[in-house]
Amino acid sequence: MALVYGILFLGALVGIYIFLYIQNKKTPVPKGCENLKADCEGCKITSCSLRDKKLKEEK
Amino acid sequence: MNRFQSFKNGLLKENPVFSLFLGICSTLAITTSLNNGVGMGIAVICVLVMSNVIISLIRNITPDEIHIPVYIVVIASLVEIIQMLIEAYAPALNTSLGVFIPLIVVNCIILGRAEAFAANNGPLDSALDGLGMGLGYTLAVCSMSAIREILSTGGITFTNMFNEDQVLFSFQLIPDDFTISMFSSSVGAFLTFAILAAGVAWYKARDAKKAETKEVK
Amino acid sequence: MFGELVGLLFTSMIVNNVVLAQFLGMCPFMGVSRKRSSAVGMGMAVVFVIVAAALVTYGLHYLVLVPLGLDYMDLITFILVIASLVQLTEMFIKKTSPGLYKSLGVYLPLITTNCVVLNVCLVNITNGYDFPHMLMYSIGTPLGFALVLVIFSTIRERLDLSDVPEFFKGNPIALVCAAIMAMAFSAFSGVI
């Protein structure tokens, strides 16, 4: 029984995460903050959502 | 692209730790003894190869908008499995590595390779890339832990990972009175890392210079 | 009791500093320490996310996972909770407070895979802290991180102007500075 709860629980968490991820991407950035830049050269955190923008700029 | 060449690059020139500065946290923390270094290296190789293969297999069915959540879930599950295996078969390693086994999830090397390589390449190439990068990490961790263990305790004692009482080999280079205990603390970790990273930068610069002079000729 | 709690706060903040004694969060420590203003922003974001994540994961562990006999799933649960929480916070700030977004927004997404956050959540459980101890540990650790990050960024601003040996430029010399800082901070272990 615990296994079923475990799978359900995990599924719910993954669902919540993906839902929030998509919702967050849809939410527009407030006015005046469109071109914010973090001064973070050298940071290797690849899941950072700023990285896509940065990579595009570099190209 | 020559597969062997890219494999070799991962070891030294594009070493994930000293040259790309990925996964520094665990490198600094667990390199107090060669035992830890080898154990951590093997764990990272396992996770990296498996995550690269799985992500490369599912790369065509992963929706583009949510690829990062999917990668995180895959990697976290793999690390959970590895952690349970280590806990069961190598309990001594588990206590000495402690929280750094679960922290492999957030090790930048793994997510970085998943995104940069496995997401665009076939499973076989991805497995090789994972192996190369993993070996590069292991090489870095082992060299650093060997230096630190010799300087701080005078020699190396390497025990069997699955049975801590069985000593595989041990030797003493520096007499006990002349060891530098600082190298087992955080100060030594930062210093060793800085010097090794500078060494790799020197090697890269020398190599680039060589290539340049060759072209001129 | 009270003295012990304050002691834990300062131990986790200074003596057992996450960066200099436990080597966690090296990525942002090396990457976001170029300018003091960004170091302050990152520090505040980390404090906020860690306190929130610690509260949620602590609650989930003792109220959901343990009663269901699922406590072996700690790791994967925590990483998902942290990742969701960062998304939720970012979305919330975007919608409600553009001013706060201006100063913190850039640094929030950086935190998803920050090992400091995951470490605090895991240590709260493995050390078996009760609620007040958990709170003190979860506040002290990120404060220590922010403190060291801001100090380090001021050092690096000066470092840019100084003459450094060729192969030590960039990250290696920063690590040498970190070593000296670690030496200074280890002296606090006698005080507390």
DSSP A7-49: HHHHHHHHHHHHHHHHHHHHSPPPTT-TT-----TT---TT-T
Using the predicted structure, report yes or no on whether residue C82 has a pLDDT greater than 60. yes
Angstrom distance (rounded) from CA A38 to CA C106? 6
Across the range C109-133, mean pLDDT stands at 86
**% chain C with pLDDT above 70:** 98
Q: Identify the pLDDT of residue B78.
A: 92
> Does residue A19 fall inside a structural domain?
yes
> Does residue C192 fall inside a structural domain?
no
Q: What pLDDT band is residue A39 in, cutting at 50, 70 and 90? A: low
> Does residue C34 fall inside a structural domain?
yes
Contact C84 A16 (CB under 8 A): yes
Q: Structural domain tally of chain A?
A: 1
Tens of pLDDT, residues B76-132 = 899 989 999 998 998 888 888 888 888 888 877 888 788 878 888 888 888 888 888
- Distance (Å) of CA B162 to CA B30, B46, B115, C159: 18, 17, 34, 46
Using the predicted structure, report yes or no on whether residue C140 has a pLDDT greater than 90. yes
Check: CB of residue C146 under 8 Å from CB of residue C12.
Answer: no
Using the predicted structure, report yes or no on whether residue A50 has a pLDDT greater than 80. no
> Does residue A21 fall inside a structural domain?
yes
> Does residue A44 fall inside a structural domain?
no
Q: What pLDDT band is residue A54 in, cutting at 50, 70 and 90? A: low
Question: How much is the mean pLDDT over chain B?
Answer: 85
Check: CB of residue A14 under 8 Å from CB of residue B73.
Answer: yes
Q: Structural domain tally of chain C?
A: 1
Tens of pLDDT, residues C20-64 = 888 888 877 887 777 788 788 888 888 988 999 999 999 999 998
Nearest to A5 among C31, C68, C80 (CB): C68
Nearest to C38 among A30, A38, A46 (CB): A38
Tens of pLDDT, residues C160-183 = 888 888 888 888 898 899 999 998
> Does residue A45 fall inside a structural domain?
no
- Tell me what ipTM this predicted complex has: 0.84
Nearest to B108 among A21, A25, A46 (CB): A46
Q: What pLDDT band is residue A44 in, cutting at 50, 70 and 90? A: low
Within 13 Å and on the Cβ side, how many CA atoms surround C109? 24
Q: Identify the pLDDT of residue C124.
A: 92
Q: What pLDDT band is residue B15 in, cutting at 50, 70 and 90? A: confident
The domain of A21 spans 1-28
Dihedral sign (CA A9, A10, A13, A14): negative
Nearest-by-CA chain B residue for C23? B25
Angstrom distance (rounded) from CA C32 to CA C26? 10
> Does residue A24 fall inside a structural domain?
yes
Nearest one of C115, C67, A8, C76 to B83, comparing CA atoms: C76
Nearest-by-CA chain A residue for C106? A38
Q: What pLDDT band is residue B203 in, cutting at 50, 70 and 90? A: confident
Q: Is B14 on the interface with A (CB under 8 A)?
A: no
Q: Identify the pLDDT of residue B162.
A: 78
Q: Identify the pLDDT of residue B100.
A: 87
Q: Is A4 on the interface with C (CB under 8 A)?
A: no
Q: What pLDDT band is residue B43 in, cutting at 50, 70 and 90? A: very high
> Does residue A4 fall inside a structural domain?
yes
Report residue C164 as tokens: 């450094």
Q: Identify the pLDDT of residue B52.
A: 92
The domain of C48 spans 2-187
Q: Is B159 helix (H, G, I), strand (E, B) or coil?
A: strand
The alpha-carbon radius of gyration of chain B (Å, integer) is 19
Choose from C27, C87, C106, C175 for mutation: most chain A CBs within 10 A: C87
> Does residue A23 fall inside a structural domain?
yes
**% chain B with pLDDT above 90:** 19
- Mention every residue, 6+ apart, whose C-beta is less than 8 A from residue C187: none
Domain residue spans of chain B? 3-204
- The burial class, CB within 10 Å (0-12 / 13-18 / 19+), for A56 is exposed
The dihedral formed by the CA atoms of B89, B90, B91 and B92, expressed in degrees to the nearest 10 = 160
The number of angstroms, rounded, from the C-alpha of A34 to the middle of its chain's C-alpha atoms is: 17
